[in-house]
Amino acid sequence: MIAETMKLVGNSAFGRSDMDMSRHTQVKYESNEDKIKSRIEHFTFHGLEELNDSCEITMKKRRLNDKNPIHLSIAIYQLAKLRMLEFYYDCTDFYFDRSDFQYQEMDTDSAYIAFSCNNPFQECVKPELRDHFKQHKYDWFPRDYNTEVAKFDRRTPGLFKDEWYGLTLE
């Protein structure tokens, strides 16, 4: 429960720092024809929606208070992309033959990979690199030899967790 709460706090801080304040608007409701005309002619006018006996007028904000640290979001996003590329080139492409895997989809925090064998981390690793993979496996994946350690590693950023295993991607 605490771990999920902390994840939510971190994600909300990231989302808040990346918010585009220029898209924020003010909505006003008017039924007086003169006020409607005045608002339409104002330089911050954005849109109008006619309702039964009044209008919903959308106005852009006159002043923006853009204090969000957008550099934080850019850095996080770029580091996430870098980590995914490192995983592809330094792990997947290095340890597995290209005929044994195919990327189906990739996002900044997930990769859907189809392998040609049922147990890819034992069967699909190149034979000459199996010992090397065993030594460096935990640089990429959570430790799995102890349940207590595995629970800790599942919360470690930068490690790739097997969140779903199956036959097809729908």
**pLDDT score, position 38:** 92
Kindly state whether residue 87 falls inside one of the protein's structural domains.
Answer: yes
Could you say which of 32, 60, 88 is where a domain stops?
A: 60
Same domain, yes or no, for 50 and 85? no
> From CA 10, how far away is CA 17, in angstroms rounded?
11
**Residue 92 banded pLDDT, cuts 50, 70, 90:** very high
Kindly state whether residue 34 falls inside one of the protein's structural domains.
Answer: yes
**pLDDT score, position 14:** 66
pLDDT at 147 over 90: no
Same domain, yes or no, for 55 and 80? no
1-5, 81-85, 127-131, range with the lowest pLDDT: 1-5
Same domain, yes or no, for 31 and 95? no
**pLDDT score, position 11:** 66
**pLDDT score, position 2:** 67
Q: How many domains does the chain have?
A: 2
Kindly state whether residue 168 falls inside one of the protein's structural domains.
Answer: no
**Residue 65 banded pLDDT, cuts 50, 70, 90:** confident
CA 122 vs. chain centroid, Å, equals: 30
Using DSSP bridges, classify how beta strands 101-106 and 25-30 pair: parallel, antiparallel or unpaired.
unpaired
Selection from 58, 61, 62 nearest residue 40 by Cα:
58
Same domain, yes or no, for 74 and 146? yes
Interval 122-139 mean pLDDT: 91
Mean pLDDT in the chain?
85
> From CA 170, how far away is CA 99, in angstroms rounded?
22
**pLDDT score, position 12:** 67
**pLDDT score, position 17:** 74
Same domain, yes or no, for 148 and 78? yes
Same domain, yes or no, for 87 and 133? yes
Strands (E), the chain: 25-30, 45-50, 55-60, 101-106, 111-115
**How many other CB atoms are there within 10 angstroms of residue 63's CB atom?**
5
Tell me if 81 sits within 8 A of 54, measured CB to CB.
no
Structural domain for 6, as ranges:
2-60
> From CA 10, how far away is CA 72, in angstroms rounded?
12
Edge-to-edge strand list for the sheet holding 25-30: 25-30, 55-60, 45-50
